[in-house]
Amino acid sequence: MQVALEQVREDGLAQLSTRRLGQRLGCEAMSIYHHFPSKAHLLDAMVDHAIATVELPAAGIDPVARLRALCHNYRAMAHRFPALFPLVAVHRLNTPTGVRFIDAVIALIQDVEPDRAAAARQFRAVGYYLIGACLDETSGYAKGPSAAEPVSDAYIAEHCPALMSAAPYFQRQHWDATFEFGVDAMVARFTCGATHPRTNDNRAAKAR
């Protein structure tokens, strides 16, 4: 698995194959199946390994501080495994390691928001933000697919003044501040109590 992670880091996820992995290991591709029943099982193990490196903040500290720390720890994982992260992002995490991680994150969010419906929405919102931000930083922006004939800087300067003024702040040196801005916005929304959206059950209970 470690050699497969090295191959993905160097050559990209699309280039991972049991044949190439066997060449790196100095063995026949079929020998790999003694360790993993299929390539899918190997990929699951790689995703599990990445997820297992996300440090879950210790209990006993402020729940909001724990949520912030989790966001940063997840982002750090994405940057440790940038070539693998597109798979992590869309994997269902329905392995034992994956579901335990999901359960731990939901439990952490429930410490911030005890209402189960609101906590479920917050869990999804955190996932939307983290996956989007991490994909953008590891695979998107200047690394993403480009137009066959991209516009020039001169075209942008002439026709897209808002983009031109914002572009300097899209650079890597601003990523930390941008990520923290997003985390601040999420936490502010999650902790504003009175503005949590009511569920239909809550509204019905209030009407009664």
100 half-sphere exposure, CB direction, 13 A CA radius: 8
The confidence band for 140, taking pLDDT boundaries of 50, 70 and 90, is confident
Tell me which H or E stretch contains 161.
Answer: helix 161-166
Three-class DSSP category at 109: helix
Q: pLDDT tens digits, residue range 18-43?
A: 999 999 999 998 999 999 999 999 99
Three-class DSSP category at 51: helix
Task: Compute the average pLDDT of residues 127-153.
Answer: 91
Q: pLDDT tens digits, residue range 167-198?
A: 999 999 999 999 999 999 999 988 886 344 44
On whether the CB atoms of residues 100 and 91 are closer than 8 A, the answer is no
pLDDT at 208: 45
The amino acid occupying position 86 is P
pLDDT at 204: 44
Structure tokens at 27: 């063995």
**Between 208 and 67, where is the model more confident?**
67
On whether the CB atoms of residues 129 and 186 are closer than 8 A, the answer is yes
On whether the CB atoms of residues 193 and 111 are closer than 8 A, the answer is no
Cα–Cα distance, 74 to 123 (Å, whole number): 14
On whether the CB atoms of residues 54 and 69 are closer than 8 A, the answer is no
For 57, list phi and psi in degrees, rounded to 5: -55, 140
pTM of the model: 0.88
CA dist 47 to 60, 75, 83, 124, Å? 29, 15, 12, 20
